[in-house]
Amino acid sequence: MKTNVLTFEGFNRPAYILEEAKLRKNLQLITHVAKEANIEVILAFKAFALWKTFPIFREYIHSVTASSLSEARLGREEFGTPVHAYSPAYTDYEIDTIARCSSHLTFNSLSQMTRYMPRVKQINPTISLGLRINPEYSEIDNILYDPCAPGSRFGVRAEKLPDRLTDGIDGFHCHCHCENNADVFQRTLEHIEQKFSKWFTQIKWINFGGGHLMTKKGYDTELLIRLLNNFHKRYPHLHVILEPGSAFLWETGPLVSQVVDIVEDKSIRTAILNVSFACHMPDCLEGPYWPSVRGAKTYESPDGSMVKTAGTKNVYRLGGNSCLSGDFMGYWEFDHELHVGQNVILEDMIHYTTVKTNMFNGVSHPSIFLARENGELELLREYSYEDYKSRMD
């Protein structure tokens, strides 16, 4: 099947569309940064785990990061390499398998390290172990995504580390960013070095985590490369790792939906779509993160009230098709009048969205397509009643 990626004409059911050309463009840029900065960049499964696309990724990168048993197995069995594992809390019934699937494993706390380190080493003698640190600094405005907020459950503060690290700890891991630019990393790096550099002689690698949105327009990749090369000059023995998720899939494809009804109440017109913000775009309610809508612009004040009335031409609230009352996203003015059956295209819906979806209400789940560079659409996954039923089994 071929389609026009500008309009996606012919669709009558919702679908995520991953565009291969845009994905490869991101992968090429990330590979360039890795080469110029002499670092390793790996894919974080928490942002993207469509394993049928792994052959494309393997042309550019050689490892992945996992935060759970399922992700660890996916990396080992489908990506084909041992993973870099990190979890806020490993469990007795999963740690053994995670260790077998991993080349690197990071502990979140000193207590988890004490409890599991001998066991992990016995299961996998060649594994490289790390400890997550908390630099107590981030520039993330939304506390929902801030791993360094007061009371954080992530990582160990410098004041709690012994002068001599436990034998067998090879690296540090930290995560302080969320879709940030290189200037934020520059300021964060100063805090990391100030608090933790005295231990750098005792470790072999450092993982600066994700949130480095190097594929976003305007990101200063040259500054990032310069910062990392200068870091190498100060600590030439340290292997540096970045594990972004969003950067790999930034602006690589939309969620295509259709209008199924238009209702009006109290002068508010709502275009009801055959997708759900609660089910298929949960960050739109949790974050909230609002995607761009093709052919539309939003009208909403900071307090959430409508700036233009629904009587204004072509202004609609976008509503989902679940039973959750709050399953809607803002007010949007379109450059055309909406009708039942028309596409509403929500941009940049591949990273995080595809891994965070759920089947609340049994709402029909969008299919997933890969738009090949030659224009062909390849169906990666279509969901059915059996997928819903099996989750309740």
How many Cβ atoms sit within 10 Å of the Cβ of residue 165? 15
Bridge-based pairing of strands 239-242 and 40-41 is parallel
The answer to whether 372 and 17 have CB atoms below 8 angstroms apart is no
Q: For residues 169 and 132, what is the distance between their CA atoms, to the nearest angstrom?
A: 11
Q: Rounded to an integer, what is the distance from CA 39 to the centroid of its chain?
A: 20
Is 387 marked as a binding-site residue? no
| Helix 20-37 × helix 221-234 angle, to 10° | 30
Give the closest residue to 85 by CA, choosing from 109, 101, 61, 62.
101
Q: For residues 286 and 278, what is the distance between their CA atoms, to the nearest angstrom?
A: 9
Strand order of the β-sheet with 40-41 is 40-41, 239-242, 205-207, 169-173, 128-132, 102-107, 83-86, 64-66, 43-44
The answer to whether 66 and 75 have CB atoms below 8 angstroms apart is yes
Residue at token pair 């690197």: 104
Q: For residues 231 and 225, what is the distance between their CA atoms, to the nearest angstrom?
A: 10
Amino acid at 114: T
Q: What is the DSSP letter of 340?
A: T
Sign of the dihedral defined by the CA atoms of residues 145, 151, 155, 158, in that order: positive
Bridge-based pairing of strands 43-44 and 64-66 is parallel
The answer to whether 324 and 286 have CB atoms below 8 angstroms apart is no
The answer to whether 224 and 191 have CB atoms below 8 angstroms apart is no
Question: What are the binding residues for substrate?
Answer: 283
Question: What are the binding residues?
Answer: 283
